Amino acid sequence: MTIPSAHRQHDGRVRFEWGLVGAEAIVAGADLAVVVDVLSFTTAVTVAVERGIEVFPYRWRDASAATYAEARDATLAVGRSVGERTGAVSLSPPSIARAEGVRRLVLPSPNGSTIAVSLADTGATVVAACLRNAGAVAAWLAPQVAGGATVAVVAGGERWPDDSLRPALEDLWGAGAVIRGLVRAGIAELSPEARAAAGAYDAVAASLVDELPSTASGRELVEAGFTADVAMAGQVDVTAVVPVLRDGGFGPA
C-alpha cells in the first residue's frame, strides 16, 4: 500500500494515528512506537510484565500460535470466555493477575497484539502503553524525545462486524494520556493529531473511571460479565512498568 507523504505527520516529533494502517503511516522514520489497546491487550501486557511474565504478541486467529508458544516454552492464552469458564489465562487482565506458574505468555489479539507484531521489524522500539502506565511510559520516552527521537503513538481501536476499524474512545484516551505526559515534560513538537488526542484525554481525565464502562467497548465487556476487566483497565498511573518489545517478547524497560 502506498501512503501519501502528507499522511505521515513528518513535521511532528510526537505523532498519533489509528490501527494497523495508521501505524504503518506514522512509524516510518520514527525511533519509538507506542501501541495503545486499553481494552485489553496493552493493559494485559502491563499486568503481566508487572508480575514478571514475558509476553509474546501474536497475530489473531493464526493456527500456528500453539506451535509458536510450544517453541518458546510459553503458555498460549485462550479466548476470554474459555478462560472465564476454565480458569485458564486469557486476554482478560484479571486472569493474568491471578495466574500461577506462568513465565512466558503468547497473547494474540485482533488489534494491539497484531499491530505490535507488525511493528517488530520496523526498526522502532515498540512500547506497550495503557492507562495504568501512561505516566511511566511518558517519563521513559521524554528524555529520548528531548534528545531528538521521534515517537509514533498508535491507538489500536476495535473492529466492526465487517472487520473495518472502529475507533475506540478508550484507546484515544490512553494515547492522549501518554502524549499529555510528554507535554508536561516539556515536549512541544506535536502533530495536530497528537495535540487532539491529548485534548481528548484532558476532557475526560477527571471522570475517566466513570466514563470507561459507558464507552461502546466498556459496555460490551460489562454486558459479557467482564466488569473487572474494565475496572482494572481504568486505573490510571498505578504502575511504573514500561513494557518494551525485545526479541519477540515484551519485558520491562
For residue 250, being part of any structural domain is answered with: no
pLDDT the model gives residue 180: 98
CATH number of domain containing 174 = 3.90.1560.10
C-alpha cell at 191: 502533530
For residue 67, being part of any structural domain is answered with: no
For residue 32, being part of any structural domain is answered with: yes
For residue range 187-208, list pLDDT tens digits in order: 999 999 999 999 999 999 999 9
For residue 103, being part of any structural domain is answered with: no
Instruction: Catalogue the E-assigned strands of 146-193.
Output: 151-155, 158-159, 165-166
Rounded Cα–Cα distance for residues 40 and 91 (Å) = 7
Q: Provide the CA 51 distance to its chain's centre, in angstroms.
A: 17
pLDDT the model gives residue 129: 98
Q: How confident is the model at residue 94 (pLDDT cuts 50, 70, 90)?
A: very high
pLDDT the model gives residue 126: 98
CB-based burial label for 150 (10 Å; 0-12, 13-18, 19+): buried
pTM of the shown model: 0.96
pLDDT the model gives residue 11: 86
Q: What is the mean pLDDT of residues 73-89?
A: 94
For residue range 124-177, list pLDDT tens digits in order: 999 999 999 999 999 999 999 999 999 999 999 999 999 999 999 999 999 999
pLDDT the model gives residue 75: 97
Instruction: Assess whether pLDDT exceeds 80 at residue 1.
Output: no
C-alpha cell at 28: 516510518
Portion of the chain with pLDDT greater than 90, in percent: 92
The 3 state secondary structure assigned to 10-76 is: CCCCEEEEEHHHHHHHHHCCCCEEEEECCCCHHHHHHHHHHCCCEEEEECCCCCCHHHHHHHCCCEE
| Domain membership of residue 207 as a residue range | 11-47+118-245
For residue 19, being part of any structural domain is answered with: yes
Neighbours of 117 (CB within 10 A): 20
Count of domains in the chain?
A: 1
Q: How confident is the model at residue 221 (pLDDT cuts 50, 70, 90)?
A: very high
CA angle 87, 88, 92 (to 5 degrees): 90
Q: What is the mean pLDDT of residues 94-115?
A: 96
Q: What is the average pLDDT value for the chain, to the nearest integer? A: 96
For residue range 58-69, list pLDDT tens digits in order: 999 899 999 999
The 3 state secondary structure assigned to 185-248 is: CCCCCECHHHHHHHHHHHHHHHHHHHHHHHCHHHHHHHHCCCHHHHHHHCCCCCCCCCEEEECC
For residue 176, being part of any structural domain is answered with: yes
For residue range 5-38, list pLDDT tens digits in order: 877 888 889 999 999 999 999 998 999 999 999 9
pLDDT the model gives residue 7: 79
For residue 171, being part of any structural domain is answered with: yes
For residue 37, being part of any structural domain is answered with: yes
